[in-house]
């Protein structure tokens, strides 16, 4: 009944339209979510996974409507709890390609605890966190990623809370794959989603996403035409950390802090070479601390290391127990422990 996703030749060739369902998409015109949806619909046919083996799970929020717009198995659950449902699905059937779609409120506020534990368990699930730094579906309140001073209806004189850096949060949980991409760069999104899928283990992808209604230009100062060269650093494995127009600036380590240097005058080997496979999360964490106002935001795969997945180890423990004790029988189930017999001649 459930086909083996490893068995790629049996998967018929799929195209984007195989993943587009009949129902209309109901996000606000101009919402960044459309570009993300489009990129994922372009990514899925290229993964070698049969359509029936995708399960998309979401919580509550604008981004969480996502499963309804993908013609796969989809489960729109409750606020913040998608990671737990997704974990149950993946543990139940490790052959499925499971995707969690969440937002900054759903994934980091009400569902922060579940996100933390999904990441540390290393369940082979792909998490796409749409970060628009605002609560959209409830019509514009500050979120856990809103900058200090954000003025909203619940913070008319400015929000007081220190914002959470989603990537740093994921690294704190020692997630084995952490990446960042943006809704205005479809090519980069597709590449990043493919890398997330290829990674065996939990994959956490933060997506800079614009909310055209309640937080328009949320990332304009980072990825707008005027600023993007100086405010974003595209990571490439084995390549130096360079950014700016004509890649004129580089990042070097000075003691325990990062510094921006002029690439032209930097000493050979002085500029850090990107390696997402450091076992220690410290390098990735240093990268993750980069951002406005002093540094560009790193984009792409920040960390990618191999560790055994949770669901495979759950299965291994079962296989091991069955190899050692044999498959449990009725006799063992009912007559286990110490038993005694009462004869009829009492």
Partner 1 sequence: MTPSSPGFREMKTVVVRFAGDSGDGMQIVGERFTDTSVTVPNSVATFPDYPAEIRAPIGTIGGVSAFQVHFGSRKVLTPGDEPDALVAMNPAALSVHLPDLAVGGLLVVNTSAFTEDNLKMAGYTSNPLDDPALGNKYSVLAIDVTALTLEALKDSTLTNREKLRCKNFFALGLMYWVYSRPIEPTIDYVNGKWAKKLPALADANVRVLKAGYFLGETYETTRTRYRVARADVAPGVYRKLSGNEAVALGLIAASKRSNRELVFSGYPITPATSVLETLAAYKHFGVKTVQAEDEIAAIGVALGASYAGKLGATATSGPGMCLKSEFIGLAVTTEIPLVIVNVQRGGPSTGLPTKTEQSDLFQALYGRHGESPLPIVAANSPSDCFAAAFEAARLALKFSTPVILLTDGYLANGSEPWLIPDESTLPDISVPFADESQPYVAFKRDPETLARTLAIPGQVGLEHRIGGIEKNEKGGISYDPENHSIMTGLRAAKVAGIAKDLPPLHVIGARSGKLLVVGWGGTHGAITSAVQTLVAEGYPVAYTNLRHLNPLPSDLGEIIKGFDQVLVPELNNGQLSMLLRANYLVDAIPMKKIKGRPFKVSEIRERVLELINA
d(C-alpha 291, C-alpha 158), whole Å? 21
Q: Binding of partner 1 at residue 6 (CB under 8 A)?
A: no
DSSP of 34-50: HHHHHHHHHHGGGTT--
Q: Binding of partner 1 at residue 138 (CB under 8 A)?
A: no
Q: Binding of partner 1 at residue 128 (CB under 8 A)?
A: no
Asked if residue 130 lies in contact with residue 102, where contact means CB atoms within 8 angstroms, the answer is yes
d(C-alpha 273, C-alpha 121), whole Å? 29
Q: What is the dihedral of CA 119, 125, 130, 136, to 10 degrees?
A: -90
Q: What is the dihedral of CA 337, 342, 343, 346, to 10 degrees?
A: 170
- Pairing label, strands 126-131, 203-208: parallel
Q: Binding of partner 1 at residue 88 (CB under 8 A)?
A: yes
Q: Kindly report the backbone phi and psi dihedral angles of residue 50, in degrees, each rounded to the nearest multiple of 5, phi listed first.
A: -65, 145
Q: Binding of partner 1 at residue 338 (CB under 8 A)?
A: yes
Residue number with CB closer to partner 1 (157 or 330): 330
Q: Which stretch binds partner 1 (CB under 8 A): 147-155, 181-189, 232-240, 329-337?
A: 329-337
Half-sphere exposure (Cβ direction) of 86: Cα atoms closer than 13 Å: 36
Q: Binding of partner 1 at residue 346 (CB under 8 A)?
A: yes
Rounded to the nearest whole angstrom, what is the least distance from the CB of residue 198 to partner 1 in the complex?
20
| Residues in the chain, total | 346
Q: Which of residues 26-85 bind partner 1 (CB under 8 A)?
A: 50-55, 57, 60, 67-68, 71-78, 81, 83-85
According to CB under 8 A, which one of 156, 255, 268, 337 is a site residue for partner 1? 337
Rounded to the nearest whole angstrom, what is the least distance from the CB of residue 334 to partner 1 in the complex?
5
267 exposure class (CB count in 10 Å sphere: 0-12, 13-18, 19+) = exposed
Rounded to the nearest whole angstrom, what is the least distance from the CB of residue 87 to partner 1 in the complex?
5
User: Element (H or E) spanning 228, and its range?
Assistant: helix 228-231
Residue number with CB closer to partner 1 (72 or 152): 72
Q: Binding of partner 1 at residue 13 (CB under 8 A)?
A: no
According to CB under 8 A, which one of 116, 168, 253, 260 is a site residue for partner 1? 116
Residue number with CB closer to partner 1 (158 or 336): 336
Q: Binding of partner 1 at residue 21 (CB under 8 A)?
A: yes
Number of residues that bind partner 1 (CB under 8 A): 66
Q: Which of residues 248-307 bind partner 1 (CB under 8 A)?
A: none
Q: Binding of partner 1 at residue 96 (CB under 8 A)?
A: yes
Q: Which residues contact 7 (CB under 8 A, 6 or more apart)?
A: none
Which residues contribute to the site for partner 1 (CB under 8 A)?
A: 1-3, 21, 23, 50-55, 57, 60, 67-68, 71-78, 81, 83-93, 95-96, 113-114, 116-117, 314, 317-318, 320-322, 324-328, 330, 333-344, 346
């Amino acid at each position: 009944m459930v086909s083996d996703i490893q068995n790629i030749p049996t998967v018929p060739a799929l195209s984007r339209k195989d993943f587009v369902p009949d129902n209309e998409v109901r996000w606000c015109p101009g919402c960044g979510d459309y570009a993300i949806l489009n990129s994922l619909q372009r990514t899925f046919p290229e993964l070698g996974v049969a359509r029936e083996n995708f399960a998309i799970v979401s919580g509550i929020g604008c981004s969480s409507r996502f499963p309804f717009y993908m013609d796969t198995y989809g489960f729109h659950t409750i606020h913040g709890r998608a990671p737990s449902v997704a974990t149950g699905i993946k543990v139940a059937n490790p052959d499925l390609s499971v995707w969690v779609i969440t937002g900054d409120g759903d994934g980091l506020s009400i569902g922060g605890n579940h996100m933390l534990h999904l990441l540390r368990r290393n369940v082979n699930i792909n998490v796409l966190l749409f970060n628009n730094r605002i609560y959209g579906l409830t019509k514009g309140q500050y979120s856990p990623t809103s900058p200090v001073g954000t003025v909203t209806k619940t913070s008319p004189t400015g929000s007081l809370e220190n914002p959470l850096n989603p990537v740093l949060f994921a690294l704190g949980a020692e997630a084995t794959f952490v990446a960042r991409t943006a809704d205005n760069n479809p090519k980069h999104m597709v590449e990043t989603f493919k890398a997330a899928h290829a990674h065996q283990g939990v994959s956490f992808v933060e997506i800079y996403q614009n909310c055209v209604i309640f937080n328009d230009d949320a990332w304009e100062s980072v990825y707008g035409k005027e600023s993007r060269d100086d405010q974003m650093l595209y990571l490439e494995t084995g390549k130096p950390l360079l950014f700016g127009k004509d890649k004129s600036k580089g990042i070097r380590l000075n003691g325990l802090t990062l510094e921006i240097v002029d690439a032209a005058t930097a000493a050979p080997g002085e500029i850090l070479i990107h390696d997402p496979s450091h076992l220690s999360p410290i390098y990735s964490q240093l990268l993750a601390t980069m951002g406005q106002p002093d540094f560009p935001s790193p984009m792409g795969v920040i960390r990618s290391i191999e560790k055994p997945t949770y669901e495979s180890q759950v299965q291994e423990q079962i296989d091991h127990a069955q190899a050692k004790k044999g498959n449990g029988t009725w006799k063992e189930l009912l007559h286990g422990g110490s038993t005694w017999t009462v004869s009829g001649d009492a």
